Chains A and B, each alone.
Chain A
Amino acid sequence: SQQGEEDPQALSIQEGENATMNCSYKTSINNLQWYRQNSGRGLVHLILIRSNEREKHSGRLRVTLDTSKKSSSLLITASRAADTASYFCATAGYSTLTFGKGTMLLVSP
């Protein structure tokens, strides 16, 4: 399986701090995506990084991809209480996306 594995499973920080989540996977990929899920809701797409890209930014989000290490990281800068959610990486192989189990982020005011 090429399922991504997020690390840590849970992260608790204060507002204004940065949050870093990591994702490791096992097989080659076409691209890697990050999603956010607020409690009891569906997932929302955050950012997509292709296998030939190393870094991508979107607002307060920064994603890196290291295909040699088969890993990616998501950095959320200057976190806010509204960033409290679960974050999932998803790896795109031949035909579908495969999701990891997620990192639960709690941002306290």
Chain B
Amino acid sequence: DVKVTQSSRYLVKRTGEKVFLECVQDMDHENMFWYRQDPGLGLRLIYFSYDVKMKEKGDIPEGYSVSREKKERFSLILESASTNQTSMYLCASSLWGLKAGDSPLHFGNGTRLTVT
């Protein structure tokens, strides 16, 4: 079974702090994704990566950056955390495909981040 591991289940940070959310997958997947999930808004794509050192903006990249130095690891960075970034963050991975969604996404269990 594919395993996607997010380093923290719960995280509390202060406004202005630099925050790193880490995600590791163990199935050699090419694609990795970061979503945030908020009540009433569903899942929204922040960034994704289809290869090492490659990254693409999703629907809501403002205030975030990402890093993919190794195939199995995809990090989400909040340069200066703000209270409106309080959310559930979900990492996912999938095999490469010719078209989007050719392979299903495998999700981690999420990191619930609170910024105070």
Q: Tell me whether B107 is interfacial, beta carbon within 8 Å.
A: yes
Whether A41 lies near B110 (C-beta < 8 A) is yes
**Cα A92 to Cα B33 with chains together (Å):** 14
**Cα A3 to Cα B90 with chains together (Å):** 18
Whether B108 lies near A42 (C-beta < 8 A) is yes
Q: Tell me whether A52 is interfacial, beta carbon within 8 Å.
A: no
- Number of residues of chain B lying within 8 A (CB) of chain A: 26
Q: Tell me whether A62 is interfacial, beta carbon within 8 Å.
A: no
Min C-beta distance of A27 to chain B, whole Å: 13
A contacts, CB < 8 Å to B: 1, 3, 30-31, 33, 35, 40-45, 48, 88, 90-102
Interface string of B85-116 (1 = CB under 8 A from A): 00000101000000111101111111010000
The total of interchain contacts (Cβ-Cβ below 8 angstroms) comes to: 69
- Residues B46-61 near A (CB distance < 8 A): 48, 56, 58-59
**Cα A94 to Cα B33 with chains together (Å):** 15
> Which residues in B have their C-beta under 8 angstroms from that of A98?
45, 59
Q: Tell me whether B43 is interfacial, beta carbon within 8 Å.
A: yes
Q: Which residue of B lies closest to A90 (CB)?
A: B101
Q: Which residue of A lies closest to B33 (CB)?
A: A96
**Cα A107 to Cα B111 with chains together (Å):** 27
> Which residues in B have their C-beta under 8 angstroms from that of A44?
107
